[in-house]
Amino acid sequence: MEPSGLIIDDLVVLRGERRVVDGASLCVAPGEIYALLGGNGTGKSTTLFAILGLLPRAGGRITVAGFDPAKAPEAVRREAAYLPENVALYDHLSAIENVRYFLGLAGETRTRAELDQAFDAVKLEPAAGARRVGGFSKGMRQKTAIALALLRRTPVLLLDEPTSGLDPAAASDFHDLLIDLRRRGVAILMVTHDLFGAADTADRIGVLRDGRLAQEWMAAAQGARFDVQALHQSYAGLSVP
């Protein structure tokens, strides 16, 4: 794999005595969308936190664009943009001010034209950029955070339930954005409960169960990309005929 991708090899993360992640392995190449499915408590978000170096690992290996989060957490956070499920923005600042502030923390600046282009890409109304986010809906806050992730222009993008709070049209627009980022060579790991959205956009889908990758599928080149029924059965923990 090229160094700009993401590699997780036999990852173990403990919470007390419990192995929340217990030997999970996956990789995401540049220009690939990987959707990670799984029920609550299966270790999906814990895996993301370990990738970012926010949780220590008890075993295994992680590299993000060639960097180990245990040895170079700042480098990893420079190379990977992270979009959480619950977006933390400053309510007293406008959308543009929030984006500029968080870009500044990452040591980056963008022109107003670039900000406007990002807001347009996520279908956030031009006038909304100057409004305080305290009056935003959850969907509008999510769009602001997605715009920020786009502006980071990192080789790796980590998404935790990215379509949470978005209506179907906005979710569809977001999936189109992912496809565009894939064309640009970004390695995308998306943790999601949205099985149908994953089936529409992902190149590979994995199901995490009890901290391990229980099953993995690759999109078909022709016809239906995935067997959605088989995906649903595995996701629900049912036997697949």
Is the pTM higher than 0.75? Answer: yes
Residue 12 structure tokens: 């173990």
Under DSSP, is residue 10 helix (H, G, I), strand (E, B) or coil?
strand
The superfamily (CATH) of domain 6-87+154-235 is P-loop containing nucleotide triphosphate hydrolases (3.40.50.300)
The whole-angstrom distance between residue 160's C-alpha and the CA centroid of its chain comes to 5
Residues of the chain with pLDDT under 50: 1-2, 239-241
For residues 190 and 123, give the distance between their C-alpha atoms in angstroms, rounded to a whole number: 20
Q: What is the pLDDT of residue 172?
A: 86
Instruction: Copy the structure tokens of residue 9.
Output: 């090899």
In this structure, what token pair is assigned to residue 130? 């100057």
Q: What is the largest CA-CA distance in the chain?
A: 54
Q: What is the pLDDT of residue 3?
A: 60
Helix (H) or strand (E) holding 73: helix 73-79
